[in-house]
Chain A
Amino acid sequence: MDFLLELRSEEIPARMQDKARDDLARLFAAELAKAGLHTDAIVTFATPRRLALIARDLPAATAESSEETKGPKTSAPPQALEGFLRKTGLSQDQLVERDGVYFAVLDKPGRPTAEVLAEAIPAVIRAFPWPKSMRWGDASASTESLRWVRPLQGIVALLGEEIVPCEIAGVTSGAATLGHRFHHPGVITIGSASDYEEKLRACHVIVDQDERRQIIALGAKMAARKAGLELIEDTGLLTENAGLTEWPVPLLGRFDAAFLAVPPEVIQLTARVNQKYFVCRDAEGKLANAFVCTANIDAADGGTKIVEGNRKVLAARLSDAKFFYETDLKVPLEEQAKKLANIVFHEKLGTVADKVERVAKLARWLVEEGIVGAAVAPAKAGAAGSSGEPAAPNAAAPASAGATSLADLAERAARLAKADLVTGMVGEFPELQGLMGGYYAAAQGEPREVWEAVRDHYKPVGQGDEVPTAPVTVAVSLADKLDTIGSFFAVAKRPSGSKDPFALRRAALGVIQVILRNSLRFEVTEALLEQRRLRLEQLDAGACFEFDGLDAAGNAKQTEMTFGMQYKATAWVVSFLDYAKSWGAGFGYEYLMPDEIDAVLGYVVSPQEYITPVRDFFADRLKVQQREAGVRHDLIDAVFALGGEDDLVRLLARVHALQAFIATPDGANLLAGYKRAANILKKEGFPQSVTPAQAGVSGDGAGQEPHEAPASAGATHLALSYTPEPAEAALAVALASAEPAAADAVAREDFEGAMSALASLRAPIDAFFDSVIVNDPERDKRLSRLALLDRVRAAVHNVADFSRIDG
């Protein structure tokens, strides 16, 4: 038998319907399972006014079963038996005795499925996990009354053709439901699960959400085509409109073409977010003055009045957007930027204006240090007038090449980049940040480089987003993200686990993408130290005045203190601490409140304390990013383990060369040889040398036995006190050329060259292990052979720490 359940309520929010269907199926199946019923086929439907479920082929009753409960041993005292009898409600002769133990066997007869369902329905309703739920009506005099997404109005529960009787919160199950609110407001009676969909369809309700989606998709597309336009598809809108209608009717309307003066992104966003309309492109691919709305009714006049009404609403929305746009255009961005002093970036990090100041200086620094500009590919290719060369003939744009003006442009762009946050348009549509700034900057005549940078400096936003390549944009984008990361790390707001409230991981990923895309050669930590310097500089500047925010003891006055005052008070505390430190005393601390110390700690940690966690954070992000690009993270580890490598481009070049090398037979064998050498050295407690040059220098501590290093382990075999075996001598010779060759290639950043230098060691190492016994009883031989292996290890470490490589 098939079972139909319909829970009819006042309009269910569109965004909740898909999950509600899943929840209904899950909860229902769980209730059945509890009773020992099973169903393979559950289908669910959702409309704004109903949530429905059909379970196919349910048995008429649950299966009979018997349940055995273990009791006391027959030898147990009589009290134990009495207790067991009481618990099971049986008499002693009804017990089964087996292996000296009593068992109670309880036969459970099958239960009618209808009875199970009658209990399951209220249980499902009560347990339903709506994201938000409410009370209503007379029953709400108690807060214990039923909570549902909106008032629950009816329940249809039919097993086969029979009503499953149940009742919850005054709603009694039955066979009656309602059709479309306006097309068919009367009651309809459902016969069974099999006629549910068709009966409702006859009453202008399409129960299946996927069918409604298709109707809208197709109808909207056709409506656009009929008008000679192309629909801009939007699956989110499709789902939302399907969740708002029981009888969807897409209708196309036009709006006044004069509104096309407003940026197309604004129009599209207004139409989508506020009105849930689709928009269209014209034949040239430009946004057309048309919209497609989805009505929930087949109007008597074919929809003329509905389209007219919707046109009017959109016109009002667009006229508001136009008002914002025109008003914003009247205020220069630098004026807007002044208002950023009123927006707190973070309570411990000052205002957005403070951030802008740092970003502007950092962007300039990135250019002046030659980090951005020279290395950015498009700048090299296209820019006119790089020194000595004739200017490009068609250089109509203001000449903007050369480090000085590039730095000026970067600083300018950074100073304007956040100004749109206080514009009316971005206030209304926060998702347009950057984009609007770009429009406004262009409108006030900023150079293309600047307005593009203002527009695109948030990019890339996550994997797959476009990565900037224009030098000015690159400088601002990098500076902005580095400032965010550096600032939050300084006040110990690091991401942990799933918590990353300031989206620092995304910012770091953005930094990595920008660096790699543009092959920017610099040490990230150096830029972060510059960011730190700029931050401290700001604090010092603020510390010179506004002492009145503090009381005599140096404590921030708690009353009537504006944020700016608190920030400056913090700054004062910092300079006070620095002052105290310069006296070589910590006497300043006892005057401070604990949370003030906390607030300033971020500023007084040493550069090293600050840098280490940020560096690790970047390494982690790089590994995640590269893993997605198919790079083995153990290889990244192997390169990172060498330490001191903050140049991500160089680091990845090394990783890529390594990955290619390890895949070759030479690489694989060298790795095996290395691991064997490293194991022997470890077993013998031979200290690890850091570089080939240091290989002969003795280091103690690591070995279990007192270790005497050979006199000249790092020198050639000529100094040996014994005649080396041929393979031993051959390895020494190979090392003598491979070692400097590898080091030299690394210095030239020729990592393939370094790898092939190492590859030349593979045969000698294999031969060495085949024919030479390292652990010779003669001490001199043993030590010099260990030293030789250490040189192998050191030579390999020119390229990467092979001990970190898997396999």
Chain B
Amino acid sequence: MTSDATDKPLSFQGMILKLHEYWSARGCLILQPYDMEMGAGTFHPATTLRALGPNPWNAAFVQPCRRPTDGRYGENPNRLQHYYQYQVILKPSPPDLQELYLGSLAAIGIDFTLHDIRFVEDDWESPTLGAWGLGWEVWCDGMEVTQFTYFQQMGGYDCKPVAGELTYGLERLALYLQNKDSVYDLAFNDAGVTYGDVFLENEKQMSAWNFEIADTERLFDLFRKATAECENCLDAKLPIPAYEQAIKASHVFNLLQARGVISVAERQAYMGRVRDLAKGACASWMDKNGWAA
């Protein structure tokens, strides 16, 4: 265990490398980010689809997350419309999952004699994915740094066996390790490049686009096309491309939300549409693999 006072804290990329090393040594595949916009790492097929069925699966990866409504034009020190999650999925959930997780925190330099780590109830649910699980948000000195979930259902199917999912908020963890107040001041590497150098302009432009500029007619059109294409794939019994189209529809829906053009009454209908597509893809995936519900 390292001590905060003596060692230089890890840079943002150093922290990712450390986590890769840690989880790789514990039998995880180290995957790369999925090349599509999504609201959370859980949407990565390596989580969603692999959580289904009986086969063991251990993987870790970084996933960029897009949450258009969370954009703050770069003015809020830790709300962003694009940020990174570190995902670990272990199936079936190992008996010492909490200890493994704490080991990863120690590996990136959190000293448990100085910091207050807490497991605070936070049950996870994704209506879009027809999924839910029980677990906690893990607090480090009052900050939520990880979502820790035992998946119980995915796509409306019982998880047999249950997978444990760890979702680290990388920026928040880095704020801690580097003792910074603003995400834009984080050291991205050890050579003077900051997170702001990489992403501040991105946040400004993307916030403007998300909230003000995105052409809503074209977005509605994209939504329709993605849903239609998803159904096309489902008809052809191709769950993976179908699932990709469902993710796409979900993200377009999020953009429409940010543009404020979906009324509360319609919101349910749109979410229901995306959920049906995602569930359809999960059902098709189960079917393709010959797994019974």
The residues of A with any CB-CB pair to B shorter than 8 Å are 10-11, 13-15, 48, 132-143, 149-151, 153, 181-182, 244-245, 275, 277, 293, 295-297, 299-301, 305-306, 308-310, 312-316, 319-320, 323, 342-344, 562-563
Contacts and interface: CB of A to CB of B under 8 A. Distances in A.
Contacts of A244: 118, 120
Contacts of B136: 11
B142 A132 contact: no
Given A134-B162, A140-B160, A342-B265, A306 B72 contact: no
B126 interface: no
B162 A136 contact: yes
Contacts of B133: 134
A137 B141 contact: no
Interface stretch (B88-96, B200-208, B212-220, B234-242): B88-96
Contact of B93 (A136, A297, A343): A136
Q: How large is the interface on B (under 10, 10 to 19, 20 to 34, 35 or more residues)?
A: 35 or more
A310 B175 CA distance: 12
From B4, B133, B263, name the one whose CB has the most chain A CB atoms within 10 angstroms: B263
A48 B160 CA distance: 27
B76 A320 contact: yes
Contacts of B121: 11, 13-15
Contacts of A149: 134
Given A14-B120, A143-B158, A305-B4, 20 more contacts: A11-B120, A15-B121, A133-B134, A135-B161, A136-B150, A137-B94, A140-B159, A141-B54, A150-B134, A150-B150, A153-B95, A181-B117, A244-B120, A299-B114, A308-B179, A310-B141, A310-B142, A316-B77, A320-B79, A343-B265
Given A13-B121, A300-B113, A316-B77, A563 B92 contact: no
Given A140-B160, A140-B161, A310-B141, A182 B98 contact: no
B119 A10 contact: yes
B152 A134 contact: yes
A296 B142 CA distance: 11
A15 B120 CA distance: 11
Contact of A312 (B112, B123, B175): B175
What are the 10 A-B residue pairs with the smallest beta carbon separation, nearest first?
A309-B141, A13-B121, A11-B119, A342-B263, A310-B142, A140-B162, A563-B265, A295-B116, A140-B161, A141-B161
Contact of B140 (A10, A299, A309, A342): A309
Contacts of A48: 119
Given A10-B119, A310-B141, A343-B264, A305 B134 contact: no
Contacts of B115: 299, 305-306, 309
Contacts of B92: 136-138, 140-141
A310 B116 CA distance: 10
A580 to B, nearest CB: 29
Interface of B: 4, 54, 72, 75-79, 92-95, 98, 112-121, 123, 133-136, 140-143, 150, 152, 158-162, 164, 175-176, 179, 181, 263-266
22 contacts: A10-B98, A14-B121, A48-B119, A134-B150, A135-B152, A137-B161, A139-B161, A140-B162, A141-B92, A141-B160, A182-B112, A182-B117, A277-B142, A296-B117, A296-B118, A297-B112, A300-B114, A305-B114, A309-B115, A309-B142, A309-B176, A310-B142
Contacts of A136: 92-93, 150, 162, 164
A181 to B, nearest CB: 8
A201 to B, nearest CB: 20
Contacts of B161: 135, 137-141
A240 to B, nearest CB: 10
B134 A143 contact: no
A299 B113 contact: yes
Contacts of A323: 72, 75-76
Nearest to B96: A153
B181 A315 contact: yes
Q: Which of B158, B175, B265 has the most CB of A within 10 A?
A: B265
Nearest to A316: B78
A141 B56 CA distance: 11
A424 to B, nearest CB: 10
Contacts of A306: 114-116, 141
Nearest to B3: A300
Contacts of A181: 117
Contacts of B159: 140
A140 B121 CA distance: 21
Contacts of B114: 299-301, 305-306
Contacts of A151: 93, 95, 150
Contacts of B181: 312, 315
A356 B118 CA distance: 45
B143 A312 contact: yes
Contacts of A132: 123, 134
Given A134-B134, A299-B113, A562 B265 contact: yes
A136 B98 CA distance: 13
A530 to B, nearest CB: 28
A150 B181 CA distance: 34
A727 B4 CA distance: 104
Nearest to A305: B114
Contacts of B135: 150
Contacts of A301: 114
A313 B77 CA distance: 11
A244 B139 CA distance: 11
A522 to B, nearest CB: 35
A143 B140 CA distance: 34
A348 to B, nearest CB: 13
Contacts of B263: 342-343, 562-563
A566 B44 CA distance: 39
Contacts of A299: 113-116
A344 B264 contact: yes
Contacts of B72: 323
B173 to A, nearest CB: 12
Contact of B142 (A135, A245, A313, A563): A313
Contacts of A563: 263, 265-266
Given A310-B141, A323-B72, A135 B162 contact: yes
B116 A296 contact: yes
Contact of A297 (B77, B116, B119, B164): B116
B146 to A, nearest CB: 13
A316 B70 CA distance: 14
A182 B113 contact: yes
B198 to A, nearest CB: 20
A562 B143 contact: no
A296 B138 CA distance: 13
Contacts of A320: 76, 79
A634 B77 CA distance: 64
B72 to A, nearest CB: 7
Given A48-B119, A309-B176, A137 B162 contact: yes
A562 B78 CA distance: 37
A150, A245, A312, A315 — most chain B CB neighbours (10 Å):
A312
B265 A344 contact: yes
A291 B263 CA distance: 38
A120 B258 CA distance: 55
Nearest to B260: A339
Nearest to B162: A140
B263 to A, nearest CB: 4
A305 B135 CA distance: 26
Nearest to A309: B141
Nearest to B266: A562
Most buried by A among B75, B142, B265: B142
Nearest to A323: B76
Nearest to A344: B265
Nearest to B149: A134
A143 B153 CA distance: 11
A183 to B, nearest CB: 9
Contacts of A293: 142
A170 to B, nearest CB: 9
Contacts of A135: 150, 152, 161-162
A323 B161 CA distance: 43
